[in-house]
Amino acid sequence: MEEFGISKETTDALYAEGISLAMTIALRIIGALIFYFIAKFIVGKLLRGLKRFLERRDDAPSLNEFLYGLTKVLLYVIMFGGVLMILGVPGSSFLAVFGAAGLAIGLALQGSLSNFAGGLLILAFKPFKVGHVIVAQGHTGTVSKVQILYTHLMTFDNQEVIIPNGNLANSDIVNMSTQETRRAELKVGVAYGTNIKQAKEIVLGIFEKDPRALKEPAPFVALSNFGDSSLDLVVRVWAKSPDMWPMYFDGMEAINSEFEKNGIEIPFPQRVIHNMKAEAEAESK
């Protein structure tokens, strides 16, 4: 090597430095592989334990699935971060890249992040569950799925409505399934001149005979308004939640039938028009 101007001492030093560097790299690779396999074993055990724990809870499948997926991602990020650090990649560089990637993803998915946050709130606080009947965002239906980004409703005419969780979490929700009992309110108009006491007795008799109507609170009927064409009765009856609508519709039919039998008129809207000129001429004759 001296013919190229490189002394034997320099060559030996470079060779020794190369061997040292190769040994260092080899040791790092071996250490990274050992760390990887040990960490993978530990992560697998942790994930299996978490999965069993979440399956025992079994009260919010979507939340359980999200928690499992999030934990899995975090554990693998930590594991690969450890591998890179053993290989000599500075931890600050890894964190900077990871943070920049998170920021870019966050900016690109702003709307989805709002739905994501809403989904977490819904799954955590449970304002409704699968199978509940709710009114939300102008739709009424049965909750069929609660996912991390969207909630699925099946309307009573069998249409699927998919509502972003961000909207749901920031708006009013009427849940019709949380209470065991509900109150039905019927409004019935009868003609002026009707015996109100008789009409009330007929209506009360109908619901007192209906086994779906609860005895406590007792059915209630009262004159609520003097309408343009009718005397308006309000009828309030309590029932178990599944029985409320069947009782309501059967009750309306029964009221109409009983009123017809007893000669009670249910009036239609009408107007009385006076011809002032004709009346004045008739009075002058």
Q: Domain check: are 166 and 194 in the same one?
A: no
Question: pTM score, two decimals?
Answer: 0.58
Q: Tell whether 6 and 104 lie within a shared domain.
A: yes
Same domain assignment for residues 235 and 192: yes
Residue 255 lies in a domain: yes
Q: What is the CATH number of the domain that holds 154?
A: 2.30.30.60
Tokens (6 digits) for 244:
């409320």
Task: Based on the fold, state whether residues 40 and 67 are members of the same structural domain.
Answer: yes
What is the percent of the chain with per-residue pLDDT over 70, rounded to a whole number? 77
| 93 and 145 co-located in one domain | no
Domain span at residue 256 reads: 181-261
Q: Are residues 39 and 87 in the same domain?
A: yes
Name the token pair of 260: 């017809």
Q: Looking at the domain assignment, is residue 225 inside a domain? A: yes
Q: What is the pLDDT of residues 146-198, one digit of tens each?
A: 888 889 999 999 999 999 988 888 889 999 988 999 999 999 999 999 999 99
Q: Does some domain include residue 84?
A: yes
Type of residue numbered 19: I
In terms of domains, do 51 and 82 share one?
Answer: yes
Q: Looking at 52, 75, 108, which one is the last position of a domain?
A: 108
Closest by CA position to 223, among listed 234, 211, 212, 214: 234
Is residue 41 included in any domain, yes or no?
yes
Determine the average pLDDT of the residues in 55-76: 72
For the beta carbon of residue 46, count every other beta carbon within 10 angstroms: 13
Domain boundary among 175, 208, 232: 175
pLDDT at residue 14 is higher than 90: no
Q: How many CA atoms lie within 13 A of 101 on its CB side?
A: 7
Closest by alpha carbon to 196, among 233, 240, 148? 233
Cis? peptide before 211, omega within 30° of 0: no
- Verify that 18 and 101 share a domain, yes or no: yes
- At residue 47, the pLDDT reads 87
Whether residue 274 is contained in a domain is answered as: no
Report the amino acid identity of residue 203: V
Question: Do 87 and 7 share a domain, yes or no?
Answer: yes
What strands, in cross-sheet order, belong to the sheet with 139-146? Answer: 160-164, 150-155, 139-146, 133-136, 173-175
Taking only the tens place, the pLDDT of each residue in 199-225 is: 999 999 999 999 999 999 999 999 999
47 falls within a domain: yes
Specify the number of domains making up the chain: 3
Per-residue pLDDT at 206? 95
- Amino acid letter, residue 26: A
Q: Report yes or no on 156 lying in a domain.
A: yes
Spell out the residues 6+ positions from residue 43 whose beta carbon is closer than 8 angstroms to its own: 75, 76, 79
Look up the CATH number of the domain holding residue 90. Answer: 1.10.287.1260
pLDDT digits (tens, 9 = 90+) for 235-270: 999 999 999 999 999 999 999 999 999 999 988 776
- CATH code: domain of residue 224: 3.30.70.100
Q: Which two tokens stand for residue 82?
A: 């450890």
Identify whether residues 155 and 197 lie together within a single domain.
no
The CA distance from 227 to 281, in Å, is: 32
* Same domain membership, residue 154 and residue 199: no
Residues 10 and 45 in one domain: yes
What is the DSSP code string of 82-149? Answer: HHHHHTT--HHHHHHHHHHHHHHHHHHTHHHHHHHHHHHHHHHH-SS-TT-EEEETTEEEEEEEE-SS
Please identify, among 80, 108, 136, the residue that sits at the C-terminal boundary of a domain.
Answer: 108
Q: Look at residue 151 and give its three-state secondary structure.
A: strand
Is 135 inside any structural domain? yes
CB 82 within 8 Å of CB 35: yes
